[in-house]
Amino acid sequence: MHYNIGPKILIKTENAAKSVSQRSAYLAVLIKNLPRAISSFDYGCGKLRYTDTILHTTDTLALVDSDIQISRRQVLCGQYTNIREIGLRSNHLSVYTPNEFAGLVQKFERGFCINVLSTIPYFSVRQRVIRLIRRMLEPGGICIFVVQYRNSDFVRMCRMPNARPWRDGFLIDSLRGFSFYGLISPERLADLVLAAGFQIEEQKLNDGSVYLFARGD
d(CA 181, CA 166): 9
Q: How confident is the model at residue 112 (pLDDT cuts 50, 70, 90)?
A: very high
% of the chain surpassing 70 pLDDT = 94
Q: What's the confidence (pLDDT) of residue 154?
A: 63
% of the chain surpassing 90 pLDDT = 66
Q: What's the confidence (pLDDT) of residue 128?
A: 96
Q: What is the mean pLDDT of residues 54-64?
A: 97
Question: What DSSP letter does each residue of the chain carry, written as one string?
Answer: -EEEEETTEEEEGGGG---GGG--HHHHHHHHTSPPEEEEEEET-TTTTTHHHHHTTEEEEEEE--HHHHHS-EEETTEEE-HHHHHHT-SSEEEE-HHHHHT-S--EEEEEEES-GGG---HHHHHHHHHHHHHTEEEEEEEEEEEES--HHHHHHHTSTTEEEETTEEEEEETTEEEEEE---HHHHHHHHHHTT-EEEEEEEETTEEEEEEE--
- Domains in the chain, CATH or no CATH each: 2-16+23-215 (3.40.50.150)
pLDDT of residue 215 exceeding 80: yes
Task: Give Cα separations from 217 to 30, 105, 153, 175, 199 (angstroms).
Answer: 23, 17, 37, 44, 8
Digit-coded pLDDT (tens) for 1-16: 788 877 778 887 777 7
Query: CB neighbours of 22 closer than 8 A, spacing ≥ 6?
Result: 49
> Higher confidence at residue 197 or residue 179?
197
Question: Among 18-22, 119-123, 135-139, whose mean pLDDT is lowest?
Answer: 18-22
